[in-house]
Amino acid sequence: MEFKELPPVKEQLMKCVRCGKCRSVCPVFAEIGNETVAPRGHVFMVQMLRDGTVAPEQKVYDHLTNCLMCETCSINCPSGIDIHELNAAARSYIYEHNPSLAKDLIFDTMWTNPAYLKNAVRMAWGAQASGAQSLGRKLGLTKLLPGDLPKAEKILTGIPFRSARKQVPAVSPARGEKKYTVGYFLGCATDLLNPEVAKATIDVLTRNGCEVIIPADMKCCGLPHIANGKMKTAQQLAIENLKAFRQYDLDYIVTDCASCSSALAAKNMALLLGETEHRDEARAFAAKVMDLTYFLIHILDVRPPANAQAPKVRVTYHDPCHLANAQGITDEPRELLRRIPGVELVEMTDANRCCGGSGTFSITHYDLSMQILDKKMDNIEAADADLIATCCPSCMMQLRHGVSRRGLQNDLVHPVQLLSQAYQMSKGSEMKAAL
Ligand code: SF4
Ligand code: SF4
């Protein structure tokens, strides 16, 4: 569909009353203080693009990418404008006029093919394990990498050797009486960077009567593509995911990744496929999608065993933007933590303020991302917790980097890991088993 005809562009631009509310809550504007990077400035820019008063040039794209896609502006806009959707549509429109071979290779070839993506991560693991990464750093070879990558490659440390898919079966039967058949949307980052989260997810779901199926042909959720001007590829990925899940008779589709659940939810599926022949199937698919924490509280009502011999631990929780802003899920992860024996939940200030990670943003805008991260880390340090919990692998990666930059010792966990651990502790298993 033509840019001007896209529903957000056609229907939403005229609703802006120039009030500036979006500007007052934007974490990027708070750092840069320039109207061109403010959400209201983005709305103007999209309007000018639509009217042809600015051309779809790379410099316009660069302005628009000074944005975390955190949706804070959208949920605070009194006119109900989905500012981040306008921004995504504009990025895609501009990208089509300014294609890049490197970007096509990354997002169309590698990131649409799980095997290629896995090999890329394996290569990164090999570089770390053999010391090549630090040698490359010392020799200045990493400076040859594009954009902010030379600085940002420090974020990608601690890559596990084996992906989750290598460690868990495609079908895990329910333990005890079966209640539900659940499709597990195992996102790329959980699979390749946080396999322990995937193992804990399957452990908790199967203990609570779920048969868990991971479709073999599942693809990336497409959110990195939307953020990088690749809306058409994201559409294609969504269609392929419909196909991958269609062959199973599932009661629910759950994911432990906030970005994946927001990408697969009704609103985003409507953005991608709402005007296509796949609209009805996308709607039915999205109706089954649930973030793991929501599913554990509202559908399974999980109650970890009260006799778990878990040690006391202070946990502070960071709200991922894609869970809190995109889906309004803030109570469920906290409720889950409160139900775990031994866990004391300590709130940090501004828990729902973006950590600055936002998927690829920390790689493309490293310095700005670190400025935003520093504010988050101040609040984390002040909470004086043992562990930092969050529900998004991108936030986990960013916060781990924040912990390391400050020389702190806090581990990063998904609440489901503590839950799985509580189940295991009730049987006298080793404390570290689920972490
Ligand atoms: S908050 Fe909404 S209406 Fe107000 S300036 Fe921003 S986009 Fe326009
Ligand atoms: S999505 Fe977040 S970073 Fe982007 S303009 Fe809105 S508030 Fe600012």
**From the CB of 67, is ligand 2 less than 6 Å away?**
yes
**From the CB of 261, is ligand 2 less than 6 Å away?**
no
pLDDT score for 147 = 58
**Which protein residue's CA is at the shortest distance from atom 4 of ligand 2?**
67
pLDDT score for 140 = 53
Q: Pick from 68, 77, 364, 375 the residue to mutate for probing ligand 2's pocket: most ligand atoms within 8 Å of its CB.
A: 68
Q: Give domain limits for the chain.
A: 3-97, 101-155, 171-299, 313-434
Given this structure, which CATH class describes domain 171-299? Answer: alpha beta
**From the CB of 337, is ligand 2 less than 6 Å away?**
no
pLDDT score for 262 = 96
pLDDT score for 107 = 87
Q: Which atom of ligand 1 is nearest to the CA of 83?
A: 7
Question: What are the beta bridge partners of residue 254?
Answer: 184, 290
The amino acid at residue 420 is S
Which residue has 């708070």 as its token pair?
Answer: 30
pLDDT score for 435 = 47
Which residue has 């031994």 as its token pair?
Answer: 342
Fold match flag (3-97 vs 171-299): no
Given this structure, which CATH class describes domain 313-434? Answer: alpha beta
Q: Which atom of ligand 1 is nearest to the CA of 76?
A: 1
**Could you read off the pLDDT tens digit of each residue along the chain, which spans 435 residues?**
778 888 788 888 889 999 999 999 999 999 998 888 899 999 999 999 999 999 999 999 999 999 999 999 999 999 999 999 999 999 999 999 998 888 888 888 877 877 766 666 666 655 555 555 565 555 554 444 455 556 666 777 777 888 999 999 999 999 999 999 999 999 999 999 999 999 999 999 999 999 999 999 999 999 999 999 999 999 999 999 999 999 999 999 999 999 999 999 999 999 999 989 999 999 999 999 999 999 999 999 999 887 766 778 999 999 999 999 999 999 999 999 999 999 999 999 999 999 999 878 888 899 999 999 999 999 999 999 999 999 999 999 999 999 999 999 999 999 999 999 999 987 554 444 444
**Which protein residue's CA is at the shortest distance from atom 6 of ligand 2?**
73
Cα 304 to Cα 426: distance, rounded to the nearest angstrom:
9
Segment 127-173, tens digit of pLDDT = 555 555 565 555 554 444 455 556 666 777 777 888 999 999 999 99
> Dihedral through CA 326, CA 331, CA 337, CA 338, nearest 10?
180
pTM equals: 0.90
Q: Which atom of ligand 1 is nearest to the CA of 73?
A: 1
Q: Using an 8 Å Cβ cutoff, are 220 and 187 in contact?
A: yes
Cα 67 to Cα 285: distance, rounded to the nearest angstrom:
29
Q: Using an 8 Å Cβ cutoff, are 422 and 305 in contact?
A: yes
Cα 369 to Cα 354: distance, rounded to the nearest angstrom:
10
Look up the CATH architecture of domain 3-97.
Orthogonal Bundle (1.10)
Q: Which atom of ligand 2 is nearest to the CA of 74?
A: 6
Segment 269-284, tens digit of pLDDT = 999 999 899 999 999 9
**From the CB of 186, is ligand 2 less than 6 Å away?**
no
Among candidate residues 200, 422, 428, the one with its CA nearest the CA of residue 303 = 422
345 three-class SS:
strand
